[in-house]
Amino acid sequence: MSVLVWIEQIDNEPVPSCWEVLGKARELAHQMGTQAAALVAGQDVDAIAQEALGYGADTVYVADSPVLARFRLQPYVETVHQALDAAQATLFLTNATVHGGTLAAMVACRRNAGIAAQAVDLHLEDGRPVATRAIYSGNMLADIHFESDLAVASIRPRSFPMPEPGPAKGTVVPLEIPLAEEQVEEKILEVKPAEKGEISLTEARIIVSGGRGVAADPAKGFQLIGELADVLGAAVGASRAAVDAGYIEYKHQVGQTGKTVKPDLYIACGISGAIQHLAGMGQSKVIVAINKDPEAPIFERAHYGVVEDLFVMVPALTEEFRKRLGKG
């Protein structure tokens, strides 16, 4: 028996939130008296397998094949299916990224298993896993109990602390995946890499977001927001109003129909604080709001609020942080 964690990699770089999930898997496996196992799939992924051992996996299953070089659902579901059998897993965990969330759902279908999508916590009751999900825009927490022998959950990034890596101990077990390229129905025609140095919204520790408040000069507004983000090493987010107006691409949207984020610091600039926006960022540790309107609802959720024009406040913050962080 084991708890199996899928280690997502993109261009052979592991996605950090997987280590958070592995850290939790290790804790649960310990309480269940079983093993924490990891699945690393890709091409030339030995280094990631060693890293997974360092982050506490007792066993790492490695599926190394050109077919798995980039994420595609069909071969990855097949790989997880094999790994679940090899590991005799009773709990399968992924990070709730686009790939992780889809993979968890398809694996649950394939194995006829119960799934908790976008879980924010996990614990045991009577030795069985229970997953916690945030519902009603994060205003309530719901516990999901599993009736199936295999439980599947995708975990929101930054739900658990990042464990400290140690020396690699444990075993690496190669997996044979009986799938040739001709059998894979999904073909990758083009890959568009993210802009250089772009920080993933869901993994970011700091996010600076812009809303319709930039409307007076959207290009300038998001340039100022981008500069503040650069100084802080932050990702850039946006409200749906800003995305719908064409000020910024959809991939930056935070909220009910965008990304769910949980940074240590969320700076909302010219965002009113609609419930659908709060659904995506309300769990941030510290929320700072910059808004001209002292009655804006965002101030009810913000830990710190500045009633000011963002075109004045954002560059002033950038300048001050530059000085204080020695980036001048």
Should residue 212 be labelled a site residue for ligand FAD when binding is judged by CB under 6 A?
yes
Options 311, 319, 321, 322; binder of ligand FAD; rule CB under 6 A: 311
Residue 179 or 274 with smaller CB distance to ligand FAD = 274
Options 206, 242, 267, 287; binder of ligand FAD; rule CB under 6 A: 242
Q: Which residues pair with 122 in a beta bridge?
A: 131
Under DSSP, the state recorded for 126 is T
Should residue 211 be labelled a site residue for ligand FAD when binding is judged by CB under 6 A?
yes
Q: Closest distance between ligand FAD and the C-beta of residue 277, in Å?
A: 3
Options 73, 184, 199, 274; binder of ligand FAD; rule CB under 6 A: 274
Tokens of 70: 């980039």
Sign of CA dihedral 163, 94, 48, 80: positive
H or E stretch including 267? strand 265-269
131/152 Cα distance (integer angstroms):
9
The DSSP line for 208-229 is EEE-GGGTTSHHHHHHHHHHHH
Buried b (16+ CB within 10 A) or exposed e, 291-328: beeeebbbbebbeebbeeebbebbeebbeebeeeeeee
Q: Closest distance between ligand FAD and the C-beta of residue 317, in Å?
A: 13
Should residue 241 be labelled a site residue for ligand FAD when binding is judged by CB under 6 A?
yes
Should residue 276 be labelled a site residue for ligand FAD when binding is judged by CB under 6 A?
yes
Should residue 56 be labelled a site residue for ligand FAD when binding is judged by CB under 6 A?
no
Should residue 301 be labelled a site residue for ligand FAD when binding is judged by CB under 6 A?
no
Q: Closest distance between ligand FAD and the C-beta of residue 241, in Å?
A: 3
Should residue 237 be labelled a site residue for ligand FAD when binding is judged by CB under 6 A?
no
HSE, side-chain direction, 13 A CA sphere, residue 128: 12
Should residue 118 be labelled a site residue for ligand FAD when binding is judged by CB under 6 A?
no
Q: Closest distance between ligand FAD and the C-beta of residue 230, in Å?
A: 20
Should residue 258 be labelled a site residue for ligand FAD when binding is judged by CB under 6 A?
yes
Tokens of 293: 């309107």
Summarize as ranges the residues that interact with ligand FAD (CB under 6 A): 211-213, 216, 239-242, 253-258, 270-272, 274, 276-277, 280, 290-293, 296, 309-311
